Amino acid sequence: MRAIEYSRTGEPDVLTLVDRPLTDPGPGEVRVRIHRSGVNPTDWKSRRGSEPGTQVDPPQVPNQDGSGEVDAVGQGVDAGLVGRRVWIWEAAYQRPSGGTAQEYAVVPVRHVVELPDEASYDLGASLGVPFLTAHRCLTVTEDGPDHLGPGRLAGRTVLVAGGAGAVGNAAIQLARWSDATVITTVSSPEKANLAALAGADHVINYKQQDVIEEVREIVPHGVNTIVEVSPAANAAIDAAIIAMHGSVAIYATDGGNTFELPVRPSMVPNARWQFVLLYNAPESWRPRALGDVEAAVRAGAVRVGPEAGLPLHHYPLEQAAEAHAAVEQSIVGKVLIDVR
């Protein structure tokens, strides 16, 4: 089978198209015939590594997210899964041969979720990292819900920083599905249009408007949950608009690896600054998140594509390096590799 792998860390050109043997799933595993492989910032960051040029042995097949159909099952797995359409999460984490940038991926059965017939493979390959990250961010608030769904965020306000990004788009869609009032910040009219298409109730262009003033006019008591992509730039703003017992969920470091924490403005509302990383998030959260995202897909509540505020960029498998480079260069929208 055709596969992409890298044997040393570095630039996108370390990604190589190779022939790999087709392997059978072991106990508790399934083999998935991949249709789409989703590319996320975590994928290129892993490929680049902390020290470019470091040998990777055995070679790593990249990309955590994907979609396809179950082709074979291992011992102890329901044979009825064969032929089922699925989406995959964390395929490559601690599994050198498990990434989705290949024609067939073998993963533990718990890492596949059924994809309804009415949901596209494009959507399936876009769910894992962005939507699970968004779910975690939206459910870490002190007195907020631990599940998402209709009514779960009713009466609450969510601010999504960077609403035109993949995680921002997912957070807007999941928050609206859960009946929150959603405010988002963007840097251009084009991105404002994308955030509005995703479902944001209020869109603030932070380069032209005063975010604190605009938010306080919309919701005088502040926002309950902030989904934060750039704490270095936004910490002071977040502290000024957070509601009593609110949380700032930080899932990325765009704009810098350190930031100053406003102590008194955070202390008065008993605010929480919560860091979010999927790979070692509490196991008690994971089944809730997977179930909620699956329910949102089945309800038709989440979408991808330009009409959903998330333009799609398709690359063939042999152009995996170009796909990684596009994400690394912060292309607006979702990058997908068409394995088939």
Tokens 């041969």 belong to residue: 97
pLDDT for 236: 97
How does strand 312-316 pair with strand 104-108?
Answer: unpaired
Q: State both tokens at 315.
A: 């690359």
Neighbour count for residue 255 (Cβ, 10 Å):
12
Residue 119 placed within a domain = yes
182 contacts 160 by C-beta, under 8 angstroms = yes
Tell me how many degrees the CA angle 155-158-160 measures, rounded to the nearest 5.
165
CATH number for the domain that contains residue 71: 3.90.180.10
Q: By the 8 A CB rule, do 119 and 125 touch?
A: no
Backbone φ, ψ for residue 84 (5° rounding): -75, 140
DSSP code string of 232-254: HHHHHHHHHHEEEEEEEEE---T
CATH number for the domain that contains residue 255? 3.40.50.720
45's CB contacts (< 8 A; 6+ apart) are none
Q: Spell 256-265 as b/e; 16+ CB within 10 A means b.
A: eeebeebeeb
User: What is the reported pTM?
Assistant: 0.97
Residues written for the chain = 340
Question: Is beta strand 65-73 parallel, antiparallel or unpaired with respect to 29-39?
Answer: antiparallel
**Which of 249, 275, 301 delimits the end of a domain?**
275
Same domain, 235 and 334: no
DSSP 8-class letter at 285 = T
Q: Are residues 146 and 256 in the same domain?
A: yes
**Does residue 280 form part of some domain?**
no
Whether residue 264 is found in the same domain as residue 332: no
Question: Rounded CA gap, 163 and 230, in Å?
Answer: 12
Nearest to 173 by CA among 85, 64, 297: 297
Q: How confident is the model at residue 285 (pLDDT cuts 50, 70, 90)?
A: very high
Residue 262 confidence (pLDDT) above 90: yes
Bridge partners for 102 per DSSP: 3
Q: How many CB atoms lie within 10 A of CB 165?
A: 25
**Is 172 inside any structural domain?**
yes
Same domain, 111 and 51: yes
The mean pLDDT value for 321-325 works out to: 98
- For residue range 18-66, what is the model confidence (pLDDT) as tens digits? 999 999 999 999 999 999 999 999 999 999 999 999 999 999 999 999 9
- Judge if 88 and 137 occupy the same domain: no
Q: For the segment 187-233, what is each residue's pLDDT rounded down to a tens digit?
A: 999 999 999 999 999 999 999 999 999 999 999 999 999 999 999 99
85, 173, 296, 71 alpha-carbon torsion, rounded to 10°? 10
289-319 pLDDT tens trace: 999 999 999 999 999 999 999 999 999 999 9
Q: Is residue 301 part of a domain?
A: no
Neighbours of 82 (CB within 10 A): 14
Same domain, yes or no: 78 and 191 = no
User: What pLDDT shows up at residue 186?
Assistant: 98
Q: Is residue 67 part of a domain?
A: yes
Domain membership of residue 287 (yes or no) is no
Residue 302 placed within a domain: no
Rounded CA separation 115/68 (Å): 9
Domain that holds residue 193: 132-275
> Average per-residue pLDDT in the chain?
97
Mean of pLDDT values over 232-237: 97
Q: Are 83 and 33 in contact (CB under 8 A)?
A: no
Nearest to 236 by CA among 257, 204, 271, 212: 212
Regarding whether 262 and 332 lie in a shared domain, the answer is: no
- Are 222 and 316 found together in one domain? no
Q: How many domains does the chain have?
A: 2
Which residue is listed with tokens 């596209």?
120
- Please write the tens of the pLDDT for every residue from 87-145: 999 999 999 999 999 999 999 999 999 999 999 999 999 999 999 999 999 999 999 99
195 part of a folded domain: yes
Kindly state whether residues 250 and 151 are assigned to the same domain: yes
Is the domain of 121 the same as that of 141? no
Domain identity same for 83 and 149: no
Q: What's residue 255's pLDDT?
A: 86
> Are 212 and 330 found together in one domain?
no
The token pair that represents 326 in the structure block: 């596009």
